[in-house]
Copies of this chain bind each other. A is one copy, B any other.
Amino acid sequence: MYERYGFEPLETPAFENIETLLGKYGEEGNKLIFKILKRGEHEASGAADLALRYDLTVPLARVVAQYQNELPKFFKRYQIQPVWRADRPARGRFREFYQCDIDAIGSTSLVVEAELLGAVSEVMTTLGFSDFVVRLNHRGVLTALLEAAGVAGDKHGEALVALDKLDKIGADGVAKELASRGIDSGAASTALSFFSVVEEASHATLARLKSVLGDHAAVRDLESIVALAESTPAAGRIRIDPSLARGLSYYTGAIMEVAVPDLAGSLGGGGRYDNLIGMFLGRDVPACGFSLGLERIIVVMTERNMFPASIAHGAVDVMVSIWNDDTRADAIALAGELRRGGLRVDVYPEVEKLGKQFKYAAGRQARFVAILGDDERARGEVAIKDLVTGHQESIARAGAGDYIAGRLKT
């Protein structure tokens, strides 16, 4: 799906120079980075010079800075690789997990945001999700709302950390935390009223934002993104959510998340980060991306029983049994004939009672067992037993592959 949206595949090494990663994810992030000990004579120093990928965005920024002269003006890449965080494991959260990222580098056009949201929504729909929501906000809206509420500029960061917990601790909890962080109670209560999410259509939220902020560039951006996304599979999915904050470290514009009702947190998120590449390159390059979390998607799809039955099948279509020592080579040859048609074929390795071989085949969820007994071999046939129906019949050997392939479809 990412390729259909014009993204090219990219893989980067599992580890980066440690300086590339440090300082990009905030203080908490730094602590969660797996660091690799120097090798050889320097090992005894106990110092680290490499570190495992913490996400796919910072390695991309490093690649863009390093290969700037070889990349197209607009560079669109997708990357599906594991990342590592020394986090405490929880439901859908592991120390090694896969991110599925798309990023578009080089353009400030909001067509980029619309296309990203379209791609991610089409992935979700194709996987079978019908109840996901795309939450959309803008870094500029967050700042403007805090200003309008009267929160002092140097308290914006602290206010957002508190307001980001609205989902989890409710308005009263956030009010207390705002007070404890030294934010004026009048400003705090105004900010809370701005950020409290009302379930409403995007145009209603946009109107509300305009009534507070007037004709603001960030609100116009949101309006355009929603309008452009109406021509994509994200149509009808987007909910403008002024309380969406995300990790604020490198985002500069639109921020977005995909969520479903039955999983706290999100299945993925992203946003615009126009300054990150500049940290490596010395000049800013606009960029916007989105990352889906594979394991969280798998957790929800598993709990909802969304995987098609075909995926739950065993790894073997047919197991060729072994009649006796002398027919081993012929059993191997039969397996080769069946594989030619694309079947997944196992050969029982040892000469044992057929009952034992059948039991093993059933345990591996093989659908069929092929038997090359003396009679069958004499007639140029092979006996095929269907382990699901129990039906067994002798088939001309040359037609055995087609017979099994046909029965597999039933």
Contacts and interface: CB of A to CB of B under 8 A. Distances in A.
Interface string A324-351: 0000111111011001001111111110
B46 A45 contact: yes
B35 A35 contact: no
Interface stretch (A7-15, A186-194, A237-245, A375-383): A7-15
B364 A72 contact: yes
Interface stretch (A111-119, A195-203, A211-219, A258-266): A111-119
Interface string A48-71: 101010000000000000000000
Please state the number of chain copies in the assembly: 2
A112 B336 contact: no
A98 to B, nearest CB: 10
A107 interface: yes
A6 B316 contact: yes
A29 B76 CA distance: 39
Contact of A86 (B39, B72, B114, B319): B39
Contact of A336 (B47, B233, B328): B233
Contact of A37 (B48, B72, B333): B48
Interface residues of A, number: 75
Contacts of A35: 36-37, 43
A342 B4 contact: yes
A307 interface: no
Nearest to A3: B344
A228 B13 contact: no
A208 interface: no
Interface in A11-32: 13-15, 31-32
6 contacts: A4-B343, A6-B319, A36-B36, A72-B360, A109-B350, A111-B347
Interface of A: 3-9, 13-15, 31-32, 34-37, 39-40, 43-48, 50, 52, 72-74, 76, 82, 84, 86, 95-96, 104, 107, 109, 111-112, 114-115, 118, 122, 227-228, 230-233, 315-316, 319, 322, 328-333, 335-336, 339, 342-350, 360, 363-364
